[in-house]
Amino acid sequence: MTQVLDAPLQDRFVEAAGLKLRYIEAGQGHPVIFLHGASLGSSADVFIRTIRDFAAQGFRAIAFDQPGFGLSENPEDHSNAFRRKAIPQFIAAFGLKQCALAAHSQAGSMAAQLALETPELYSHVVVLGTGSLLPPLEEKKEGLDGAAQQRLERRMAQSEPSMDDTRKLLEANLFHHELITPEELELRHARSIGKNFTAFVARSEHASAPAKKASDAKPLWRRLAELKMPLLLIYGRNDRANAFERATKLKEQLPQLDLHIVPDCKHLVPWDAQTDVLRLAVPFLKKQ
């Protein structure tokens, strides 16, 4: 059935990973699964504009609330590993044999790991602002924006955020503050409280627990050249944690990577760099 691209995107639900997961979609064509990050308030709604753009370009664009986010049910397991395993289960619920992944922030690492594990399932990978896929600098320095955000998120984990807290977190992640309309702010805040805040606290506690890691494990950023499908990386010039310097270093060490740095863009790449994402990703995804 042909969809009207300017019609409101409808909330839909599917059973996957033992949970009821909410998703939104538009368009027809090669499927592109959009994966949001892990910040408080993140959900498929980060990609509302993006979905319409890609649908208009001939793709079937799908974004879903990962377990513990948005309108999807909260899981018992709040680990990153559970969320990562839920992605192919969500895709399998649609009967898709292959799709592209477009992942923002923390989800970029999940997309890269999945693409390394089962390359036959993914035609392309697009990474938007994933700091964990960048090499560290020799001198570790968090940067004022990154440190301020960490302090804000630590405080948020102690009590539900106010509307003002939600605005501050958005402002820390956006270069173009004019994008924070009253409607966007209200939606983001609604995705930050109640059961979503409960899940956020659980994820924070899980992340703070000591984790065993092999000392000789190869950093994921060093494995990007091993991907068997095309990879596109887009970073904001003004993103936190020295992303510009680290992305430049990654390009120097792996010059074959298709990596782009967008000016006037912080961490919320799908918002700040909406036009650039479309300009770069559409021809990339249309290449076989």
Q: Give pLDDT tens digits for 200-215.
A: 999 998 887 666 655 5
In the numeric block, which tokens belong to residue 123?
């035609």
- Whether 42 is in a domain gets the answer yes
In the numeric block, which tokens belong to residue 249?
């270093």
Residue 234 pairs with which residues in a beta bridge?
A: 128, 260
Q: Looking at residue 8, what is its pLDDT?
A: 79
Query: Is 10 a residue whose pLDDT tops 80?
Result: yes
Q: Looking at residue 239, what is its pLDDT?
A: 97
Rounded Cα–Cα distance for residues 128 and 247 (Å): 12
- Whether 87 is in a domain gets the answer yes
Q: Looking at residue 158, what is its pLDDT?
A: 76
Rounded Cα–Cα distance for residues 203 and 200 (Å): 5
Of the candidates 239, 235, 262, 268, the one whose C-alpha atom is nearest the C-alpha of residue 250 is 235
Rounded Cα–Cα distance for residues 277 and 288 (Å): 19
The one-letter code for the residue type at 98 is Q
Query: Is 287 a residue whose pLDDT tops 60?
Result: yes
Q: Looking at residue 3, what is its pLDDT?
A: 47
Q: Is the dihedral of CA 121, 25, 128, 124 positive or negative?
A: positive
- Whether 225 is in a domain gets the answer yes
Angle between helices 107-117 and 80-92 (to 10 degrees): 60
Q: What is the pLDDT of residues 231-269, one digit of tens each?
A: 999 999 999 999 999 999 999 999 999 999 999 999 999
Rounded Cα–Cα distance for residues 272 and 265 (Å): 5
- Whether 134 is in a domain gets the answer yes
Tell me the pTM. Answer: 0.92
Query: Is 271 a residue whose pLDDT tops 70?
Result: yes
- Whether 55 is in a domain gets the answer yes
Q: Report, as an integer, the average pLDDT of 176-199.
A: 97
Q: Report, as an integer, the average pLDDT of 18-28.
A: 97
Q: Mean pLDDT across the chain, nearest whole number?
A: 91
Q: Looking at residue 255, what is its pLDDT?
A: 96
Q: Looking at residue 138, what is its pLDDT?
A: 81
Query: Is 81 a residue whose pLDDT tops 60?
Result: yes
Q: What is the pLDDT of residues 123-173, one digit of tens each?
A: 999 999 999 999 999 865 545 455 555 555 666 667 899 999 999 999 999
Q: Looking at residue 2, what is its pLDDT?
A: 38
- Whether 257 is in a domain gets the answer yes
- Whether 177 is in a domain gets the answer no
Q: Looking at residue 144, what is its pLDDT?
A: 47
Could you tell me the CA-to-CA distances from 218 to 16, 107, 223 in Å, in that order? 31, 19, 7
Q: What is the pLDDT of residues 49-59, one digit of tens each?
A: 999 999 999 99
Q: Report, as an integer, the average pLDDT of 168-190.
A: 97
Domain that holds residue 251: 12-141+219-286
CATH number assigned to the domain comprising residue 134: 3.40.50.1820
Of the candidates 222, 233, 230, 286, the one whose C-alpha atom is nearest the C-alpha of residue 259 is 233
Total number of domains constituting the chain: 1
Q: Looking at residue 142, what is its pLDDT?
A: 47
Query: Is 16 a residue whose pLDDT tops 80?
Result: yes
Q: Looking at residue 132, what is its pLDDT?
A: 95
Q: Looking at residue 150, what is its pLDDT?
A: 58
User: Do 236 and 131 meet the contact criterion of CB atoms below 8 Å apart?
Assistant: no
Could you tell me the CA-to-CA distances from 276 to 62, 160, 261, 280 in Å, in that order? 19, 34, 10, 6
User: Do 89 and 15 meet the contact criterion of CB atoms below 8 Å apart?
Assistant: no
